[in-house]
Amino acid sequence: MKRRLPRFLLPITVLIAMSIGLLTCGAHPAASYDQSPQYGEGRFHNVAKQAPLGFVRGVKVWWRFLFDKPADATPQVAIPVHTLTRQALLDAPDDSLWRLGHSTMLMKLDGHFWLTDPVFSERVSPFSFMGPKRFHAPPLSIEELPEITGVIISHDHYDHLDHDAVLALAPKVRHFVTALGVGDRLLAWGVPQEKITQLDWWQETRIEGLKIAATPAQHFSGRGLSDGNRTLWASWVIDTGRTRIFFSGDSGYFDGFAKIGERYGPFDLAMVETGAYDEQWPGVHMQPEQSLQAHLDVRGKVMMPIHNGTFDLALHAWTEPFERITALAAEQGVELTAPQMGERLDIRAPAPSTHWWRVGELDGVDANGRR
């Protein structure tokens, strides 16, 4: 059974989409990045040239997305969420990780707290009244978070860069580490320049003893119709000297993963995009088979599938990424961990997955998705 919107809404939807470009056309940074090998003719580029989707195929994709979505693209029951408190975070040991949703991870490393791609808004959209809506509430509020040493941002899409969250976080965050151009957005939003570090691919920085390296990804950027690829996208290496973590951000599969593995691997934990994929956009999002290969390429010890379980961003069932990667990992003997939202994960000794996304596992979950 599929959900369908009334056809009369199509012109309205198109007008709204056009308005996004008008609202954001002045948002891209005016700085020059001519020294970046990834930059040319006013935009950033992937190493491998991507075939454009094209107008006709693009219209078909949007038509399917708006009018032909499967009913199981969103959960039919509340999913489990472990409620977190500031004190619980402060009391937790080092090398702890909590998945707050989608690609938002909170990590405690050497006594410091770090966030990746913090998204706390109800919708990933320029509008509060429409766009992909959360399946679950965040395990804790921004106000409940302790002081954050750093925030690492992979790229500027709405499901990875949350304007309201950035502004709410800014007073309690000491450093924002971003790919080139994304930091200029933060600066335009009012984040102090001294808090922002922007990196090109293969550049590194050290903050409180933590080595952070921006590494390649194959994706795209933009928050409207007029600012495509004005900012860079990246994957990230996070290295305490004792614990090494890979965070993929968003990416299609490419040979850059093997290069990252050669240069920075092995990784104790590889958090790899596994979700919101479709055969129509293989260049910018990976199928689960490719996600597993990316994990092997970067030389990850334990794989954690991310970019799933929080927002409806594709045309597959919301549980499909979990099921497919679980089966593939079992076939190839890859250790997989998929913690529940808000569940503490020991980065150096991750617990195996409990298949919490399966309906039979959801008994005892209340209306808010909490046990």
Mean pLDDT along residues 237-241: 98
CA 252, CA 170: separation in Å to the nearest integer? 31
Cα distance between residue 170 and residue 176, in whole Å = 9
Q: Given this model, what pLDDT does residue 64 score?
A: 65
Three-state SS letters, the chain: CEECCCCCHHHHHHHHHHHHHHHHCCCCCCCCCCCCCCEECCEECCCCCCCCCCHHHHHHHHHHHHHCEEHHHCCCCCCCECCCCHHHHHHCCCCEEEEEECCEEEEEECCEEEEECCCCCCECCCCCCCCCECCCCCCCCCCCCCCEEEEEECCCCCCCCCHHHHHHHHHHEEEEEEECCHHHHHHHHCCCHHHEEEECCCCEEEECCEEEEEECCCCCCCCCCCCCCCCCCCEEEEECCCCEEEECCCCCCCCHHHHHHHHHCCEEEEEEECCCCCCCCCCCCCCHHHHHHHHHHCCEEEEEEECCCCCCCCCCCCCHHHHHHHHHHHHHCCEECCCCECCEEECCCCCCCCCCCCHHHHCCCCCCCEC
Q: What is the pLDDT of residue 238?
A: 98
| Straight-line distance from the first to the last Cα atom of the chain, in angstroms, rounded to the nearest whole number | 30
**pLDDT tens for residues 144-182?**
999 999 999 999 999 999 999 999 999 999 999 999 999
Lowest mean pLDDT among 5-9, 209-213, 246-250, 359-363: 5-9
- Mean pLDDT for 8-26 is 40
Q: Which two tokens stand for residue 101?
A: 């949703």
Phi and psi based region of residue 314 (left: phi greater than 0; alpha: psi -120 to 50; beta: remaining): beta
Question: What digits encode the pLDDT tens for the residues 74-98?
Answer: 998 999 999 999 999 999 999 999 9
Query: Can you list the pairs that 331-337 forms with residues at least 24 positions away whose Cβ atoms lie under 8 Å?
Result: 332/292, 332/296, 334/292, 334/295, 334/296, 334/303, 335/301, 335/302, 335/303, 336/302, 336/303, 336/304, 336/305, 337/269, 337/302, 337/303, 337/304
Tokens describing residue 148: 């954050």
| Residue 9 reports pLDDT greater than 50 | no
What pLDDT, on the 0 to 100 scale, is given for residue 361?
47
Question: Quick one: average pLDDT of 281-302?
Answer: 96
In terms of pTM, does the model score above 0.85?
A: yes
Residues 36-63 have a mean pLDDT of: 77
- Could you tell me which residue, 332 or 23, shows the higher pLDDT? 332
How far apart are the C-alpha atoms of 53 and 44, rounded to whole Å?
18
Sign of the Cα pseudo-torsion (348, 352, 355, 360, in order) = negative
pLDDT of residue 51 exceeding 70, the answer is no
138, 103 Cβ separation under 8 angstroms: no
Nearest to 86 by CA among 136, 143, 170: 143
Residue with tokens 């046990």: 371
How far apart CA 357 and CA 183 sit, in angstroms, is: 35
Structure confidence at residue 121 as a pLDDT band (50, 70, 90): very high
